[in-house]
Amino acid sequence: MTADSTSSSPALPSKALPSKLQRTLFQRIFEPKDIKSLSPARLVLTYTILIFWSFVVLFPLYWLLVTSFKLPIHVSDGPVYLPFIDFEPSSHAWSYIFFDLGNDTFRPYLNSLIIAFASTVLAVLFGSMAAYALTRITYRPKIMSIFAFILILAAVVISTIAAGIPWQIGVAVGAALFVLFLLTLAKRFKRSLGNNDILFWIISQRILPPVVAVLPIYVMFQQVGLLDTHFALIIVYMAVNLPIVVWLMRDFFATIPVDLEESAELDGASRFRIFLTIVMPLAKPGLAATFLLVLILSWNEYLLALFLSTADAQTMPLLVAAQNATRGPQWWYMSVLIVIMILPVIAMTGLLQRFITRGLLIGAVKG
């Protein structure tokens, strides 16, 4: 009877199957494994790949450091990589960058520090607020309200540039018209969007390359008299990187349990206080990873800085590119500038290292 009941028992549902059978091929290959459990062949292959990848990553940094201590003749002679063996190291390039150029080096360096860190902090702050709102609050904006906002904004920009109307008056009139539209006509339109639509619209701002919008941005800041200022680059960098922050931080906030926020709300905490005191501390790994990514993008940005700055707000990428003189690329000077240029990013990576790995792993999981 036991055998009959066993043979006639229904098949186990898929959820009761062993976890190993449910895992995909990708998960089986890339899941974390103990190095001691690998076979000798896989161990050799793993170390070979790691050594090769380390060489690919570290050799350009070594080349930069070595080239910065070469004389021009050593760079022109051919590839020589071993100091004191292939060539005699010289501090000629370092002396030229720090002493001969002097202020021409330190001013762009300070500009890059101010612009990159300020724009990154603002982008992470405002982007995190938007991402949290899209995670916890359901929005139903009317499509016609969005179209009206875009049309009014375009009219303000065109009137400011073409008709010469002061931008303060244009912004005030545009805001008044939009509020009037919301109070009178917006209620008549029924079709609305959802949070996913809003998120897609935000990330779609990164689809087009910056070169498409650089001329309108240049004209706009020229009209308001903000060319070659820190403020212009900070605002533009913040706006360009906001979609990335919103997209990344939304996944991090989705992993935080809602129960903690509901308990705080029952105790009388406001939504903003919950965001600052509960959500943000729990999202430190995501904030660290996002902060570093946006910092690198702002630190290395070249095209917008080329159009929006000349001398006072010049950044390090422009100074490095300026070493490509009429006599050809001056690699020895460029190497010194690039070496000192990557130091802040390396320092920030070291400071945020304990958060970055965990943050990237959490952000890569979408439920």
Note whether residue 7 is domain-resident. no
**Is 42 found in the same domain as 145?**
no
Note whether residue 351 is domain-resident. yes
**Is 321 found in the same domain as 276?**
yes
CB 295 within 8 A of CB 346: no
Note whether residue 127 is domain-resident. yes
Give the domain extent around 71.
34-96
pLDDT digits (tens, 9 = 90+) for 28-37: 665 656 667 7
Instruction: Select the highest-mean-pLDDT range: 7-11, 137-141, 296-300.
Output: 296-300
**Is 348 found in the same domain as 223?**
yes
Note whether residue 22 is domain-resident. no
Choose the final residue of a domain: 96, 119, 149: 96
**Is 279 found in the same domain as 328?**
yes
The Cα 171–Cα 156 span in angstroms is 6
pLDDT digits (tens, 9 = 90+) for 87-144: 788 888 899 888 888 788 899 999 999 999 999 999 999 999 999 998 988 877 777 7
* Residues 149, 151, 157: CA angle, nearest 5 degrees: 100
For range 245-254, the mean pLDDT: 90
**Is 59 found in the same domain as 82?**
yes
Number of domains in the chain: 3
CA atoms within 13 A on the CB side of 338: 20
pLDDT of residue 177: 86
Q: Which helix (H) or strand (E) holds 325?
A: strand 324-325
Identify the sign of the CA torsion 220, 224, 228, 233.
Answer: negative
Note whether residue 27 is domain-resident. no
3-state secondary structure of 55: helix
Note whether residue 2 is domain-resident. no
Q: Which residues pair with 125 in a beta bridge?
A: none
Here the CATH number for the domain that contains residue 338 is 1.10.3720.10
pLDDT of residue 306: 92
Choose the final residue of a domain: 192, 207, 229: 192
**Is 179 found in the same domain as 59?**
no
Note whether residue 19 is domain-resident. no
**Is 172 found in the same domain as 300?**
no
Amino acid at site 266: L
**Is 351 found in the same domain as 299?**
yes
CB 178 within 8 A of CB 149: yes
Calculate the average pLDDT of the chain: 82
The Cα 256–Cα 65 span in angstroms is 43
**How many residues are recorded in the chain?**
367
The Cα 341–Cα 335 span in angstroms is 10
**Is 215 found in the same domain as 282?**
yes
Q: Which residues pair with 142 in a beta bridge?
A: 192
**Is 178 found in the same domain as 258?**
no
* Nearest-10 crossing angle of helices 210-223, 143-162: 60
The Cα 302–Cα 104 span in angstroms is 18
pLDDT of residue 233: 95
**Is 283 found in the same domain as 160?**
no
Does the pTM exceed 0.85?
no
Least confident of 55-64, 297-306, 315-324: 315-324
Note whether residue 18 is domain-resident. no
Residue 27's pLDDT band (cuts 50, 70, 90): low
Q: Which residues of 334-350 are buried (b: 16+ CB within 10 A; e: fewer)?
A: bbbbbbbbbebeeebee
- Residue 304's nearest CA partner among 361, 357, 227, 198 is 227
